Structure 1
Amino acid sequence: METDAQNVVSGELQQVLLSTDLSFLKSVHMDEGQGASFSGEHEEELDLDEHTFNRWTPLLRTAIETDSLPLVVDDLFSSVEENFENLEAQILQDSQLSDNLAASVSQIASIKDIIEGSLLHETEDLQVQLAHATNDVISRKQNYLSNKKTSTKISESIILITKVLQILELSNKCQDLIKDSNFYKALQSLGALEKIYVQDFKNYNFEFLKKIYASIPILKSKIKDESINLVKSSFNSNLEKKLLTVGKTFFEFYNNLLLPDWLESKNELKLSSFKFNSPVEISLRDSEKLESLNVEKLYPLNEFYDSILIFQNLKETDYLRKEFKKEYDFRISKVVYPLEIKISGSASLSDLKKKTTTLFGDDFSLEELKEYMLRILGFVIYDRHLNRSTEYVLSQNDLSANEDFWEVFIGRFSPFLEHFVSKICTSEEMLTELKDFLGIYISILENVGANIERIYEINVLVFKKYAALLVELFNKEFSTLLDDDDFMPLTINDESLYEKVLKICWLRTDELEALHSREKTPDESFFATLPFSPLYPMTCTLVKKTYNKVVACLSEFYQYDLGELNNIIVKTVDDIFGKIVDAKIASKLDTTSREEIAQILINLDYFIVAVGEFSKILARENITHSTDVELGLQSAKLLSKTRGLTETKLIELIDSKVSDLMEFVEFEWSSTEVLKEPDYSIKDISQFLEMMFTSTLVNLPDSVKTLLIFREFDALTRRFLDVLLNSSPPSISPQSVLNFELNMNFLESIISKLFPNDESIPSTPTSPDTASIQPLDNTRSSNLIDNTIRSLHSTFSDLKQHIQFLKCPDMEEYKDSGIRMRKYPRIKPEVAQMLHNKMVPPSSAGTDSDNSASIDQSFADSITSHRRIAKFFNRA
């Protein structure tokens, strides 16, 4: 590339020379030794115009700089030879021109020397200047380096001073932050200060910085202490003043806002089977209203957040937990006072209950209890909020002191709650108020995530006590009703009251339809008689009232253990009918009044109906909403048993009366006169039975009344048969047999009076002034009565066969099995022989004697007379 540059320079110089006007050159012949003076002698002849020189100079300079000037000159010579080769002849022919050329060559060589000298001189000057400049640069560089070191030291000093100032500023800032109780930022400032010192000043011997660094542990300790004190002061400000307020705020929000809203929605949406705080109720709550219960606003925890960050930064979280636990335990002891949370584990459960009950005392009112529990509620909300918001940092590895506070508390406090419910809550109003309070209380606890099992058991205990109290109140009212009852059928002269009684009372379906179908003329005044006494409708009203109260008690706040609660309802109803109604009525069975016993029997019959109907109600309305539940009231068995005892008592009273009347019955077995009327004692017995079954026992159920009638007539016929067989003398007169038959026929005749015949069965009550229960199917009832009457007449069959045999005591006829089975199937052979012996006259009196004839005629007359009397009484 250098050769190419030389060629270019040589070529350009050749072009310049060719284009240069050389006319100024003179024919000067110089010797080789004149070269040195040529410059001075011919300066004027060699003077070039400035323009030409300016064109040569760059090319020559380039050749010099590249050390190629000799080569350029050689090229120029070669070029001259090449360019002027053809002109050689011409030049040679032109002597002037030849001289000029020769001179120019010399001049060029001279110029070359001049240029080389000039360039050498300039080069030397340049070298001098370069050496001077180099020395100057070296000097300046040394100064620069020296200055740079100084500047670096100054910069380092500035940085050092800045960091010192930063340390001082951080130290002052830390002090100010500590004064302002902004401990976490103060700790951050200390951390930055410590980092700067360790990184930048650890190897410096600055006494004041060492003192600042030495104060860091002291400041950290102060931050720790002050942050703990801040937590303690937070307890003072947040707990002592806000616990009761927060508890009341939550309770009033649930009770005065959420509960009314739910009751309204419940009625509108027909959600009667769902309870308050159930998932359905919670889903219907207004979310905007719930925002007012922002626990973060109620319990700000900024101090705790700062303290946790501080001790986590210091890696001393365990110390914070330890100090926190001390303060927390102290606050808990104040919150739960007078209760003692920490009790020796050696104490027995009974001692704990006794001690807890003693701490509060029996003078603890319901309002005091509610205020105390609301304070506890505020602390439970605070406790849950604190632990959750701090991610359980403060309670880690020590859950028993914090997260389980509620369970520990309720475990200690529940004995007093049980005592309070059992001993202090003695009124219906107190129990209702406590039940409603605990219902809302439990809802709040459940929503904040606390375990409600134990407190719910207390509320179930409240319900049990409430139900038991209702039973006690029922007992008092029923006792009053029973004492005031007149044990007479209920008479009503007000139609609206009559309809109300029918609506209140439980009756058999057929009876209810019959009573509602009663017709009356527009002119007649209303008057009705119902079989039961006033005790029954009053008791029905009282039972329904009590049941409605029990069910209403469970309407909103009880949604767990429904089976147990349903059993309590069933037991309550069972106790009402069994332990109270049945027991109280049974205590009245010591009376000797047949009227009262009869009315008790009637009332019991309806109470059994009531129990059966109530069992259906319980099965239909059971709160478990399970179709598989089978409810049976044990009181039905008790009432049935008492009813049986009452029947027995009534039978005993009737038997006793009949026995008393039987004491006055005397038969003249040796009578020779045939009577026309029955004996007065038989009339008394008949009149008693007729009055008993048509008046006193008229309202008894037909089955009971019929049973009693059967019982009495069967007993009577057996007694009279026993009198005939065992109490009669060995010999009886035929007249006495006829008289005995007359008495028995009279006694049998009252059977038809005890039951109406077919024509007497009305489709409406028998009297326009009396409402009695009549069967709807008159034909069926008539057939039943006919069958009953026939059955009652059959009770006299034995007695009649014996009387008939006495009237014709023919043993030969009796021995004929055909006749015996047709006429005397109930007479035993030995009895027939005994009766035969009673009627056979003494052997001394022959059959053909006059006396015998007169006796036979008298017997025949007696029979005729007896038939007339029988017809008379049958007509009567």
Structure 2
Amino acid sequence: MPALIDSGDDLAAAVQQITLSASDTDYVDQLVPVLKDVRYSDRAGQLVQALNQFASEREADIERMCNSNHQEFISSINQLLSVRQGSVDLTAEILELNQSIQKSTENLAGQKKSLVEARGVRQNINDTTEALNACLEVLRLANQVHDLLGKKNHYAALRALDELQNVHLREVSRYKIAELIEKSVPATQKLIAEAVMSDLNTWLYRIREASQYLGEVSFFQTEMRRARQRERADNDDYFTRFKLNSAVELVADENDELDILDSEENQIHVDFSPLFECLHIHETLGRREVFQTEYAATRRRQKELLIPSSINLLEEEDADLSRILEDIAGFAIIERATMNRTDSLRSNADVEELWDSMCHSAVTLISGALHTVDSDEKLLQIKGRISLFMQTMSHWRYSTSSFDALMLSLFNKYAEVLKRRFSEDFLEIVSTDDYMPMRINNPEEYDKVVSVSWYSPETAFEELAFPCVFPFSQMYPLCCIDIRNFLNQIYLFSDDHFERSSVIDDTLKSSLDTLLCQDVCASLVERLRSQYPGQIVQILTNLSHFETACHDLSELLFQARHSSSAVGPVVLQATTQFQKGRQQAEQRIFELVKSKIDDLVDNADYNFDLVSPPSRQGGVRQVVGAGGTHSGFIVDLRGYLDLSFNSTLVGLAPVLREELYTDCIIHTANQLLELIISPSVHRLSRGVIDQFAADVAYFVEFVQQLQMPSMAQNLEELTQVVALLTSNNGEEEFFDVASRNRRYGKVDPQQGAELLEKVYRGRALG
């Protein structure tokens, strides 16, 4: 575009330049600034004048051009008129043709309208057909949902319903049928949920019916694992350190492990498909939480049906107890498997809650029925079933701590029943014993008695001659057998699932103490009231052997102690009781012997007023022996002591026998001295002194025959008194201190003086 003219005075040049514009746009663009300039400078007239001048110049140029070309211009005008006439004619023809075309177009428009209308009708028919087909497909799918539901293809029915709702209903959403079917979808979903729940309830019922068999199979598998573990322990001592369900045992048993939920051998196949299907369908329906709640409530109701209101523990083979434990085990195994095979359907807290509830109910039920059982064998069977149950459920990672208190009660009951039964046995053994040394006829009997008794023979087996006798009576080996049986039966209760070893040790010790103290020792001590020294001696011998047996038992209990936390030796109170009983028996023997000695000495009816001893003194029996004439009482006394020492008391231990001999000799000597020292004796005649001296000599002779040098020392006082009484110079010798110490040192000075006074009075009587 040419540049604008900056000079405001040269309007002619500006007009000239404006007229040279190539287009109207340029013309206007250049004219506008000029107009603005003249407007503000009041030069509009000059601009108009410039324009008029320019127009006059242009008209002069045109006129000049026309004058020089006039003829050509006329010819051109004529040609132009001719052309114009032809153009008019053509226009008329075009108008006619246009009218003709317009008529044809109107006819064509009518036909096209008809065609459009026909096509519309056809499209409507097609649309209607498609709509009907779509609606029919929707109806077919709706019917298919119910058909699949009838065939129990619940998940397929749910998928078809989902496809119907999310795909096909959208295609017919503008039709009423879509609204109707859409409204029926929740009801259909509910039908599917109810149908799958019905199938699940059927499955749960079958599972509950199969729970007992499942528990029975699980118990059998635990027993097989026990057998395999024992076999491994027998073959390798390393395995003895590990219990059932320990990590080592589980690893060692991997190759033999059997899936009891799917075992062709046991004809068990627990199919969880109904549960998975039901869970998946409810999760698809957005009802997972509702399903979890309903499922949990159903399982709780089924759990309550497992525990009956009462239980009979006296049935053979523990059928009632086994059935309850198997039901609980099967139910819990299904719960654990459900928790492991589903995603958070059953939480560990839910499963443990049901398990704790079942355990509490079972423990309460069994505990309430324990009072009906009074057989140790039945209690052991009950314990075996419960222990098997506990080991089985520990394998499934269930806590069995709630059964610990029951096992403890069961053990206390078992120990009490055993103690009562063995108490009756001990009392019968003690009451029926003959209290005679046990006679053995052959080596077989000897070996049998030695093997069951706590007894160490003093004589070698090769030196024995049969028949022979044991020092104890028959009751001792019989009691030893019962003690061993009691120990064995108490330890039978201990196994991998009764780990209260300290309870076993304490109960065993206390029960054994009670049996030995109350039923054996007390019974033997009660029989010490017997008046037969031979029986007392045998009781003493038995008590001594029981005391020895208690020491051996303490060592045995210490070695067999289960509790690793216990320290120190095992001390049986029965040891002290038997020791006290033995001491009482010794005292009783001494009492009986001394009592007999007293009775015999009391028969010495010396007539202290006679001057010389007649053939019979006041009815006193006289016996003529090698040493002269002796009183009857001293002969009887010597015979009694001889019989006692060589027959009745021969079964005593040598030390005790020697002690008893010594005590009897001392007591007899004291009693003989008492005859003349007694304040009731006022005088001693020569005849009485001679008779007393002969009786003492007869007694001393008997003591010397015992060949026990220590005994002679116990008779020194008696012999010195006799020597004092029979000496002619007794008074002078006795009152001379040196002589008295040399010849009568054992005689009490006061008693010696009194005896000499009595001799003096006897001489005065003569």
Which of 589, 593, 597 does residue 650 from structure 1 map onto?
Answer: 589
Counterpart position of 1:226? 195
- Residue 537 (structure 1) aligned with residue 477 (structure 2): yes
- Residue 565 (structure 1) aligned with residue 507 (structure 2): no
Q: 1:707 to 1:154 in 2, by over 3 A?
A: farther
* Aligned counterparts of 2:737 and 2:330: Cα–Cα separation in 1: 101
Counterpart position of 2:537? 598
- Superposition deviation, residue 832 in structure 1: 3.1
- Superposition deviation, residue 717 in structure 1: 2.4
* Aligned counterparts of 2:637 and 2:395: Cα–Cα separation in 1: 78
After TM superposition, list the pairs within 5 Å mapping 1:332-351 onto structure 2: 332-336=303-307, 338-339=308-309
* Aligned counterparts of 2:212 and 2:534: Cα–Cα separation in 1: 65
Counterpart position of 2:437? 489
Q: Name the aligned partner's letter for residue 386 of structure 2.
A: L
- Residue 406 (structure 1) aligned with residue 355 (structure 2): yes
Q: 1:166 to 1:720 in 2, by over 3 A?
A: farther
Counterpart position of 2:385? 437
Counterpart position of 1:247? 215
After TM superposition, list the pairs within 5 Å mapping 1:667-686 onto structure 2: 667-673=606-612, 676-686=628-638
What is the TM-score when the length of structure 2 is the normalising length? 0.73
* Aligned counterparts of 1:481 and 1:614: Cα–Cα separation in 2: 20
- Superposition deviation, residue 394 in structure 1: 4.2
* Aligned counterparts of 1:602 and 1:529: Cα–Cα separation in 2: 13
CA deviation string 1:585-621 (max 9, x = no partner):
2343332222111111111111111111122112122
- Residue 305 (structure 1) aligned with residue 276 (structure 2): yes
- Residue 666 (structure 1) aligned with residue 582 (structure 2): no
Q: Any idea what SS the aligned residue of 2:588 has?
A: helix
Counterpart position of 1:374? 326
- Residue 743 (structure 1) aligned with residue 683 (structure 2): no
Q: 1:186 to 1:811 in 2, by over 3 A?
A: farther
Q: Any idea what SS the aligned residue of 1:678 has?
A: strand
Q: Name the aligned partner's letter for residue 515 of structure 1.
A: T
Q: Any idea what SS the aligned residue of 1:267 has?
A: helix
Counterpart position of 1:448? 396
- Residue 266 (structure 1) aligned with residue 215 (structure 2): no
CA deviation string 1:437-489 (max 9, x = no partner):
22222211211122222324434444444444443443344344334422111
* Aligned counterparts of 1:423 and 1:748: Cα–Cα separation in 2: 70
Q: Name the aligned partner's letter for residue 716 of structure 1.
A: T
* Aligned counterparts of 2:233 and 2:612: Cα–Cα separation in 1: 90
Counterpart position of 1:637? 576
Worse-matched range after superposition: 745-754 or 693-702: 745-754
Q: Any idea what SS the aligned residue of 1:532 has?
A: coil
Residue pair 2:686, 2:763 contacting (<8 A) in 1 also: no
CA deviation string 1:49-81 (max 9, x = no partner):
xxxxxxxxxxxxxxxxxxxxxxxxxxxxxxxxx
Counterpart position of 2:89? none
Residue pair 1:335, 1:375 contacting (<8 A) in 2 also: yes
Q: 1:272 to 1:731 in 2, by over 3 A?
A: farther
Counterpart position of 1:528? 468
- Superposition deviation, residue 698 in structure 1: 0.7
Residue pair 1:295, 1:385 contacting (<8 A) in 2 also: no
Worse-matched range after superposition: 738-747 or 161-170: 161-170
Q: 1:820 to 1:380 in 2, by over 3 A?
A: farther
Which of 581, 585, 595 does residue 524 from structure 2 map onto?
Answer: 585
Q: 1:689 to 1:187 in 2, by over 3 A?
A: same
After TM superposition, list the pairs within 5 Å mapping 1:777-816 onto structure 2: 789-808=708-727, 813-814=733-734, 816=736
After TM superposition, list the pairs within 5 Å mapping 1:71-470 onto structure 2: 171=142, 174-196=145-167, 204-240=173-209, 242-255=210-223, 257-270=224-237, 274=241, 277=244, 279=246, 282-283=249-250, 285-294=252-261, 298-336=269-307, 338-339=308-309, 359-360=310-311, 366-394=318-346, 399=350, 402-424=351-373, 426-470=374-418
Q: Name the aligned partner's letter for residue 496 of structure 1.
A: E
- Superposition deviation, residue 372 in structure 1: 2.7
Residue pair 1:163, 1:196 contacting (<8 A) in 2 also: no
* Aligned counterparts of 2:158 and 2:672: Cα–Cα separation in 1: 118
Q: 1:529 to 1:827 in 2, by over 3 A?
A: same
* Aligned counterparts of 2:222 and 2:285: Cα–Cα separation in 1: 43
* Aligned counterparts of 1:613 and 1:683: Cα–Cα separation in 2: 46
Between the two proteins, what is the percent identity of the paired residues? 19
* Aligned counterparts of 1:753 and 1:487: Cα–Cα separation in 2: 30
- Superposition deviation, residue 732 in structure 1: 0.9
Counterpart position of 2:655? 703
- Superposition deviation, residue 725 in structure 1: 1.1
Q: 1:844 to 1:697 in 2, by over 3 A?
A: closer
Q: Alignment RMSD, CA only?
A: 3.7
- Superposition deviation, residue 433 in structure 1: 2.7
Q: Name the aligned partner's letter for residue 451 of structure 2.
A: K
Residue pair 1:671, 1:733 contacting (<8 A) in 2 also: yes
* Aligned counterparts of 1:362 and 1:552: Cα–Cα separation in 2: 20
Which of 696, 718, 732 does residue 684 from structure 2 map onto?
Answer: 732
Q: Any idea what SS the aligned residue of 1:215 has?
A: helix
* Aligned counterparts of 1:269 and 1:724: Cα–Cα separation in 2: 83
- Superposition deviation, residue 684 in structure 1: 0.9
Q: 1:391 to 1:726 in 2, by over 3 A?
A: farther
* Aligned counterparts of 1:543 and 1:155: Cα–Cα separation in 2: 106
Counterpart position of 1:519? 463
Q: Any idea what SS the aligned residue of 2:606 has?
A: coil
Residue pair 1:259, 1:276 contacting (<8 A) in 2 also: no
* Aligned counterparts of 1:373 and 1:529: Cα–Cα separation in 2: 55
- The unaligned stretches of length 5 or more in structure 2 are 1-115, 614-626
Which of 652, 657, 665 does residue 713 from structure 1 map onto?
Answer: 665
Query: How many residues are treated as equivalent by the alignment?
Result: 627
- Superposition deviation, residue 233 in structure 1: 1.6
After TM superposition, list the pairs within 5 Å mapping 1:44-55 onto structure 2: none
* Aligned counterparts of 1:704 and 1:842: Cα–Cα separation in 2: 43
Residue pair 1:254, 1:440 contacting (<8 A) in 2 also: yes
- Superposition deviation, residue 316 in structure 1: 3.1
Q: Name the aligned partner's letter for residue 455 of structure 2.
A: L
Q: 1:565 to 1:167 in 2, by over 3 A?
A: farther
Q: 1:622 to 1:279 in 2, by over 3 A?
A: same
CA deviation string 1:727-769 (max 9, x = no partner):
5632212443343233223323333444xx5xxxxxxxxxxxx
* Aligned counterparts of 1:629 and 1:269: Cα–Cα separation in 2: 31
- The unaligned stretches of length 5 or more in structure 1 are 1-145, 340-358, 758-788, 846-850, 852-876
Q: Name the aligned partner's letter for residue 716 of structure 2.
A: S
Which of 452, 470, 487 does residue 504 from structure 1 map onto?
Answer: 452
- Superposition deviation, residue 718 in structure 1: 2.4
* Aligned counterparts of 1:741 and 1:267: Cα–Cα separation in 2: 80
CA deviation string 1:349-407 (max 9, x = no partner):
xxxxxxxxxx44687663222223222222222233233433553458x73xx432232
Residue pair 1:387, 1:403 contacting (<8 A) in 2 also: no
Q: 1:306 to 1:693 in 2, by over 3 A?
A: same
Q: 1:726 to 1:221 in 2, by over 3 A?
A: same
* Aligned counterparts of 1:542 and 1:631: Cα–Cα separation in 2: 20
Q: Name the aligned partner's letter for residue 590 of structure 2.
A: I
Q: Any idea what SS the aligned residue of 1:630 has?
A: coil
